[in-house]
Chain A
């Protein structure tokens, strides 16, 4: 009964976090997955999500699913900590639930969520010496690798989970590397993915190293909410478990050299939990208790949280819906996939040749070209400019 009550409270927390994220609206990356747009990530999860795109509250559904999975994953942390004292177990649970990365990412529809959960499952398999079938581990690994590109960073954890299961070295190599080969083959057959990776790599290469290091440092802080980051890193570096350290290093290197989106901070959280577990298990002092962990992490999160810019896509979509009979919309200026998500009908880039067959034009940047069509078009909004046929 007590456990059911706790599950319900946690679910309430997940729903609250999902509701908070839904106020910001669908982001461009979220739209990519919700609409099953074919880059940059492999297709498994986005295909499943794309099957629901006709549902009226599709984004809400997936926000709740992702938030629930992330929050209820605390039971894995609880089970992982079963060899520790009660107060240490509570501290680990508090570390997971109160971390800035979880509080700021739970409820988003980003693939970093299932990727981080996969890392937690692997760490749980390793620490608890759970007796999963090697084939089962392989299938899970294949599934995650075909969901998100960053999951390859956890290959050392897969190797270690198989080693602890007593799998023959040849089988270990096969199970660890075969999905990676499948992923490489997929990326090779998707020029969009390759182009996207190359493009992001180019942007990242242009960034200054001092900016990258600052960015990484900020993400390191955000991941655990200061105290969990510090305690987790301390425990991880003391830990003799080289696969965890190697995988955490790969993730850190990836964050350092890549475009460094803030949501990557979630990828470090499972490692910090494992690091804290290692420190508690070795009875290292001083380590924080649950109250300190929770208080510091939540205060840190409140300190750093900022209002997120809301895309005007939803408000413009509502405006156009009121107009009625809008079948084709053109957008002039840069725009993200959230516009394709929000708008009904066919969405195109602005091309003067298509004006005669377009019903509305949205200008995300100034579009003086529309002034020359003012006799046939009128503006119904000015931030951004929205033109409709008269």
Chain B
């Protein structure tokens, strides 16, 4: 559990969307050591959103380079800027969910501050959500999008990860691992409780939690090189992604899987019981067989000093019953099959 400091300290007040003719945007920017890129980034975002009501929430994981301090200083110029400094907590996904928890807008958006995400796509995402889509994604794999000048191995890893992740998300999504997207605030609130903010891929978590029928829009994104700072993509991040994928696959398919196991278990028990029920059916359907079987059982039990619970009826026919004589005691496992005839002649071992 980390410490979250919020600048400024404001009461949590929901903006009344009815007062505005256009949706209110809350843009969450998770940062770690982005002090160099942040001022340019905020300026570019402010430029594309100048006609809109918006707030920006910078969620910084207590960067050693003082990103949170830079962001705080920029508030003088950008009053719509808020800063969340998290101490003792790390992780992009959890930074985004913490930012969403502080957000007051009708539309929530996420993008990186390192210059790789083109801010000019942001208004298109807002329009898409405003027009009825639940989520709008800036996609590197939609027509017109690209991963830029990635190294081949990184491109391949991204493709593989994307292909695996597509099994979890609504149809039509091409880039479920994008870090640049917008979501309707109410839709997010409905799924917030089921989201586990692990690793880097918060969009994947969101898409996996949405109903399969959710409306998803995509805008092409030309992925750009970093303007400053260093990449956080390392082996640990990749391992966290694999873990997240496995967890979400299990969450998605275990429901169906467990249902089939349940049905299979019931079917197995029924399959075991039906032949026995058939073998015993004369006992229930024919009163004379029932009375003769009971007489044979009681006669044998009385002669042998057995309790009726020590005679388990296996099959019933018109002349005899087959029973398992079982003796109960600790460590005792004595049982034998006997045929008891209704004419009360001496019993004999069951036929094979």
Contact = CB atoms under 8 A, between A and B. Distances in A.
Nearest to A345: B329
Interface of B: 194, 254-263, 265-266, 269-270, 273-274, 276-277, 280, 283-284, 301-309, 312-313, 326-332, 334
A200 to B, nearest CB: 14
A135 B258 contact: yes
B233 to A, nearest CB: 32
The 4 closest A-B pairs by CB, nearest first: A135-B258, A348-B305, A135-B259, A138-B262
Interface stretch (A7-15, A32-40, A93-101, A362-370): A32-40
Interface in A165-191: 171, 174-175, 178-179, 181-182, 185-186, 188-189, 191
30 contacts: A35-B329, A38-B309, A38-B312, A54-B331, A58-B330, A131-B194, A133-B258, A133-B259, A134-B255, A135-B256, A135-B262, A138-B259, A138-B262, A139-B261, A142-B262, A175-B262, A182-B269, A182-B273, A185-B274, A189-B276, A189-B280, A191-B313, A340-B329, A345-B329, A346-B332, A347-B329, A348-B305, A349-B301, A350-B305, A351-B302
B255 A346 contact: no
B304 A351 contact: yes
Given A54-B331, A146-B269, A136 B258 contact: yes
Contacts of B332: 346
A192 interface: yes
Give the secondary structure class of B's interface.
helix
A48 B286 CA distance: 35
Nearest to A191: B313
Given A35-B330, A53-B331, A348 B306 contact: yes
Contact of B327 (A346, A350, A351, A353): A346
A348 B327 CA distance: 9
A160 to B, nearest CB: 18
B266 A351 contact: no
B255 A135 contact: yes
B329 A185 contact: no
Interface in A294-348: 330, 337, 340-341, 343-348
Interface string A183-226: 00110110110010000000000000000000000000000000
Contact of B260 (A135, A179, A186, A344): A135
A354 interface: yes
| Residue of B258, B260, B304 with highest tally of chain A CB at under 10 A | B258
A134 B259 CA distance: 7
